[in-house]
Amino acid sequence: MTLLEILRTLEKKQTVSGNESAVHGTVKDILGDGFRYSADALGNFVATLESSTGKNIMLSAHADQPGFIATHIEDSGLIRAASVGNLHLNCCINSPVEFENGVKGVLSCDANGSSNDVKDAMLFCDIGAGSRRDAQKKVCVGDRFALSFRSVRLMGNKISAPGLAAKLCCAALISAAETIKADPPKHTVHFVFSAQNEAGSRGIGAAAYSLKPSCAVNLGACACGDVPGAKGTIKLSKGPAIKISDKSSICTKSMITLLNDAANAEGLSVQTEISEQTGSDTAAVLKSCGGIPTGAISIPFRYMRTPTETADIKDAETAAKLICAFVNSY
């Protein structure tokens, strides 16, 4: 399957933090035989290519997307909600949403979305119910929902959609797994689709502790600085970025070198990421098991954490190629 075809399959599944299991079967169906599959209590899903000799490599991308959770149903039938993960709420108001069970609604807030500083306490979802009893027939407190996934193809190889970052990173990791499977590596490789990144990088730390890898590479997203008012040097369509550091982590120097060497050997166009604004799953891996040598690859995105996250498919394809080159050279 092409990376875009993998993405089209993944986009059908809603994976708000805590509901990552919705995608486990899809990943297994795409990858097929040849892997050992496992899942843990937190919701991490691991596809492993076994080797009887060599080292133990962990490659990861988080499977969960930001969204919302129903907290209370009012007498009117409106459903009070809180955000799960980090979203720019002002950009999400009066947008269509969908619950895990397929129920559709509109996310809004007190004052009809006119506030310039939307808080969780102001959020509600309107599913069209006329009373609490009507709403309870479709939705329960604790049910999760997300912005309705509507992908839009832009010029060139660009695509825009809500929740795109997690799905595109997972698609790139699956694409790399398919390639690596076709030419089995000398080391055991674990492909981890981790849980609860949006809740504080909880899943990947548990996975790293359980797998105890010799080294790890985390695949994530980074914000572009190529639009008016944005900060940073990352540009869309210029290749993935090899992370040096972010707000929560400093990548292992030897891993940075190995990733750059792999990119140079394959003639892959890459950028360098130093982020002062955001953290990543990388920190949780670095701190596990007394310290794990860890590198990170980031796919550039514009308009992150809004209903219109935008990326270039070619950047994701290059990220997948870089993962393969690293595994082959390690």
116 DSSP 8-state letter: S
* pLDDT per position as a tens digit, 75-96: 999 999 999 999 999 999 999 9
Can you give the pLDDT at residue 276?
Answer: 81
| Side-chain-facing half-sphere of 250: CA atoms under 13 Å | 1
Q: Is the dihedral of CA 93, 195, 247, 252 positive or negative?
A: negative
Average pLDDT of the residues in 283-308:
96
Q: Is the pLDDT of residue 256 over 90?
A: yes
Tell me what percent of the residues of the chain surpass a pLDDT of 70.
Answer: 99
* pLDDT per position as a tens digit, 183-236: 988 999 999 999 999 988 899 999 999 999 999 999 999 999 999 988 889 999
Cα separation, 129 vs 56, whole angstroms = 52
Average pLDDT of the residues in 124-142:
98
Cα separation, 116 vs 99, whole angstroms = 26
Dihedral (Cα; 19, 20, 26, 27), 10-degree rounding: -170
Q: Each residue of 255-285: b (16+ CB within 10 Å) or e?
A: bbebbbebbeeeebebbebebeeeebbbbbb
Q: Is the pLDDT of residue 60 over 70?
A: yes
Q: Is the pLDDT of residue 116 over 80?
A: no
Average pLDDT of the residues in 262-266:
98
Q: Which two tokens stand for residue 180?
A: 């690596």
Choice among 110-119, 126-135, 233-242, 300-309 with the minimum mean pLDDT = 110-119
Question: 45 and 39 in contact (C-beta within 8 Å)?
Answer: yes
Average pLDDT of the residues in 255-268:
98
DSSP H/E element including 207? helix 202-211
Average pLDDT of the residues of the chain: 95
Tell me what percent of the residues of the chain surpass a pLDDT of 90.
Answer: 88
Q: Is the pLDDT of residue 54 over 80?
A: no
DSSP 26-94: HHHHHH-TTSEEEE-TT--EEEEE--SSS-EEEEEEE--B-EEEEEEE-TTS-EEEEEES---HHHHTT
